[in-house]
């Protein structure tokens, strides 16, 4: 099997890693790239009904725990939960539950960036 296959390559911001650790840097960088891909192309491969909303000066996107698990297959759900909490403390990661969604599928809304006052 070749080193580079069809799986995406995950990178991170070195400054963010030095300040907050590599897990947080990977989490924020990968989510940011994932969200930018949608915003730039208005679609994500395999997600035809995906939506993005602009609120509070940020672009918000819905994620289920299954989606995050697929995006970060090298972390278990517990690790993702801990990393989300650490990322929240940076002020660059936001998690809300303020949009009407299908309550049968637990969905959280995530945004990357600084909130505008």
Q: Which domains does the chain have, with CATH numbers?
A: 14-112 (1.10.10)
Give the pLDDT confidence score for residue 60 in this predicted structure.
85
Q: What is the pLDDT of residues 27-36, one digit of tens each?
A: 999 998 888 8
Which has the closest alpha carbon to 95: 64, 69, 74? 64
| For residue 23, pLDDT beyond 90 | yes
pTM across the whole model: 0.79
Q: From CA 45, how far away is CA 104, in angstroms rounded?
A: 24
Which has the closest alpha carbon to 61: 29, 101, 89, 27? 101
Two tokens, residue 62: 């819905």
Give the pLDDT confidence score for residue 48 in this predicted structure.
52
With tokens 């609120």, the residue in question is: 55
**What is residue 113's DSSP assignment?**
S
């Amino acid at each position: 099997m070749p080193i580079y296959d069809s799986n995406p390559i995950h990178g991170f911001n070195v400054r963010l890693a030095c300040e907050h650790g590599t897990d947080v840097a990977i989490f924020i960088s990968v989510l940011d790239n994932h969200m930018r891909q949608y915003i730039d192309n208005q679609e994500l491969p395999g997600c035809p009904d995906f939506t993005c909303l602009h609120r509070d000066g940020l672009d918000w996107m819905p994620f289920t725990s299954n989606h995050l698990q697929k995006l970060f297959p090298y972390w278990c759900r517990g690790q993702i939960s801990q990393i989300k909490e650490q990322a929240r403390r940076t002020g660059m990661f936001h998690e809300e539950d303020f949009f009407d969604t299908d309550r049968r599928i637990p969905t959280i809304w995530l945004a990357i960036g600084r909130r505008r006052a």
